[in-house]
Amino acid sequence: MSDATPVLDCRGMRCPLPIIELARHIGEAEVGALVTVLADDPAAASDVPAWCRMRGHEYLGADGDAYTVRRRH
Amino acid sequence: MSTRGVSASSDGYFDAASTEPLHPAAREVLLAAADEGWADPARLYGSARRARMLLDNAREVVAAVVGARPDEVSFTASGTQAIQLGMLGTAAARRREAGDPRVVAVSAVEHSAVLQSAAHLARHEGARTVEVGVDRDGRVDPAAFAAAVADDTVLACLQAANHEVGTVQPVDEVAAHCAGRGVPLLVDAAQAAGRVPLPAGWSVLTASAHKWGGPAGVGVLAVRRNVRWRSPLPGDEREGGRVPGFENVPAALAAAAALRARWEEADAVAARQRELVDHIRARVPELLADVDVVGHPTLRLPHLVTFSCLYVDGEALVTELDRAGFAISSGSSCTSSTLRPSHVLAAMGALTHGNVRVSLTSDATRDDVDRLLVAVADVVTRLRAGLGAL
């Protein structure tokens, strides 16, 4: 992950809010670029990858509370 | 006490997986048995012998439907109590065996009563829980479950079918492996009993009468004759020493009557319900974008279906549908403090928020379902409208 990766700080938000934030801001990244979501609601561990699957983006994994996604389209 | 102002109708009720309204066959029997079966079935005089006979009749009926011998069946106070007694009693009986087996193997999608009982054994009996994962459809891989059952396994638990998504589990395959290893297998049949044929390879089977249209307060604990079981509670002679306290004979009899009636109509009801569930599974993605329809497409219970709607809070969905006159359950709603994200949906890799579990009573019709679907589409569309373009 480069320093240029945009980070959405959704700590303190309960799902589905982090997913809504992700959907709102994914378009700000270039196609092929990464976006990281910080989320401390445990539901994000299921819902970020599920969102990627449903919306056709790529889920790259989590590092603690940081979930990284690649914009695919 | 008055119940005026509280609707008794099951119109708009789509939460049969939580509890079914009382079956008409159970209502009659409950009233008759309250007059006939009130005496203490443990005593020796006439009225007591009558109560004992009624209780044993109930036991025979339940045993026949769940595939047990009557002397293997005990009535408990609930399905949860049956699971607790089944798990703790089976583990207790095995504690002095060679090797002191201590691992409890469970699927990751068991009912919370199973997971909580496993956690209790870990806290108080030095046990360790091994959770076996499921695939995207919520189904356990029998080979993966078998791999988790070894010489140090004290007990294995696999549900007949899942209570949140309806997926039927490969119990017979798992049972064969457990039998080969000499490990008892507890099968939680709460959602399946009275609806579909049950697997036969269990050591301990549990169920709950209010799920099949019997009264609340009656659970079933069946322990195979060749399976060792020791009470985890202080001694009591009721129910063959398995369940403490004075038996509720009228409720047990009503539960048995409901189960028999439910089982006699099971094929016809299931055929109707499967059509309705297939209709829901097909129609929901046509009505709404960004919906995850979950659970196995064919290996499933007839009466329940689950889908999750992206960006929507589960509690808001439940509340708005209630306002529109529909009762559904949601295994999600993370925004709320009352509902926690569903461990079942999480284990499946499904979306945990915006979840709708629709479960059909035996008299649900296509019109009922279509009215619900219109309401769901309307509520989800409205809830999403406040979010702008996503």
CB contact under 8 Å between A16 and B292, yes or no, is: no
A51 to chain B: which residues are within 8 Å by CB? 310, 351
* pLDDT tier at B388, thresholds 50, 70, 90: confident
- In chain A, whose CA is at the least distance from the CA of B386? A20
Q: CA–CA separation, B111 vs B56, rounded Å?
A: 29
Q: CA–CA separation, B92 vs B203, rounded Å?
A: 15
Q: State residue A5's pLDDT score.
A: 83
Q: State residue B340's pLDDT score.
A: 67
Which of B202, B252, B226 has the alpha carbon at shortest distance from B74? Answer: B252
Q: What phi and psi, each to the nearest 5 degrees, are found at residue A40?
A: -105, 0
Q: For helices B266-287 and B366-385, what crossing angle results, to 10°?
A: 30
Average pLDDT over residues A52-60: 97
Our answer to whether residue B334 is catalytic in this structure is yes
For residue B383, the distance in angstroms to the closest alpha carbon of chain A comes to: 12
Question: Are the C-beta atoms of residues B222 and B85 closer than 8 Å to each other?
Answer: no
- What CATH number does the domain located at B24-261 have? 3.40.640.10
- Whether pLDDT at B71 is above 70: yes
User: Which residues of A participate in catalysis according to the annotation?
Assistant: 15
Q: Which residues contact A58 (CB under 8 A, 6 or more apart)?
A: A52, A69, A70, A72
For residue A69, the distance in angstroms to the closest alpha carbon of chain B comes to: 16
Q: State residue B3's pLDDT score.
A: 55
Q: State residue B4's pLDDT score.
A: 54
- Whether pLDDT at B8 is above 60: no
Q: State residue B243's pLDDT score.
A: 97
CB contact under 8 Å between B353 and A47, yes or no, is: yes
Tell me the three state secondary structure of residue A70: strand
Strand partners, B296: none
Q: What phi and psi, each to the nearest 5 degrees, are found at residue B263?
A: -70, -35
Q: For helices B249-264 and B24-36, what crossing angle results, to 10°?
A: 150
CB contact under 8 Å between B341 and A46, yes or no, is: yes
Average pLDDT, chain B: 94
Average pLDDT over residues A38-64: 96
Average pLDDT over residues B134-157: 97
- Whether pLDDT at B96 is above 80: no
Q: State residue B1's pLDDT score.
A: 54
A29 to chain B, any CB pair closer than 8 A? The answer is no
ipTM here: 0.94
CATH architecture group of domain B266-383: Alpha-Beta Complex (3.90)
- In chain A, whose CA is at the least distance from the CA of B340? A43
- Whether pLDDT at A2 is above 90: no
B332 to chain A: which residues are within 8 Å by CB? 43
pLDDT digits (tens, 9 = 90+) for B314-348: 999 999 999 999 999 997 544 445 556 899 999 99
Which of B120, B193, B42, B108 has the alpha carbon at shortest distance from A46? Answer: B108
Strand partners, B95: none
Chains A–B, number of C-beta pairs less than 8 Å apart: 62
pLDDT digits (tens, 9 = 90+) for B204-251: 999 999 999 999 999 999 999 999 999 999 999 999 999 999 999 999
Lookup result for tokens 């025979």: B60
- Could you tell me the two tokens for B328? 């559904």
B311 to chain A: which residues are within 8 Å by CB? 16, 19-20, 23
Q: State residue A37's pLDDT score.
A: 97
Q: State residue A47's pLDDT score.
A: 96
Q: State residue A3's pLDDT score.
A: 56
- Could you tell me the two tokens for B35? 């007059």
Residues of B with CB under 8 A from a CB of A: 290, 292, 308, 310-313, 332, 334-335, 341, 345-346, 349-354, 387-388, 390
Tell me the three state secondary structure of residue B168: strand
Q: CA–CA separation, B301 vs B240, rounded Å?
A: 32
Tell me the three state secondary structure of residue A49: helix
Which of B164, B352, B380 is most worth mutating to test chain A (most A CB atoms within 10 A of its CB)? B352
Q: State residue A1's pLDDT score.
A: 47
Q: What is the pTM of this model?
A: 0.95
Q: CA–CA separation, B106 vs B188, rounded Å?
A: 11
- Whether pLDDT at B172 is above 60: yes
Residue boundaries of the structural domains of chain B: 24-261, 266-383
Which of A47, A26, A46, A66 has the alpha carbon at shortest distance from B312? Answer: A47
Average pLDDT, chain A: 93
CB contact under 8 Å between B346 and A55, yes or no, is: no
Average pLDDT over residues B257-271: 98
A47 to chain B: which residues are within 8 Å by CB? 351-353
* pLDDT tier at B99, thresholds 50, 70, 90: confident
Q: Looking at per-residue confidence, does B301 or A6 come out higher?
A: B301
- In chain A, whose CA is at the least distance from the CA of B294? A50
Question: Are the C-beta atoms of residues B117 and B83 closer than 8 Å to each other?
Answer: yes
**Tell me: domain A7-70, CATH 3.30.110.40, correct?**
yes
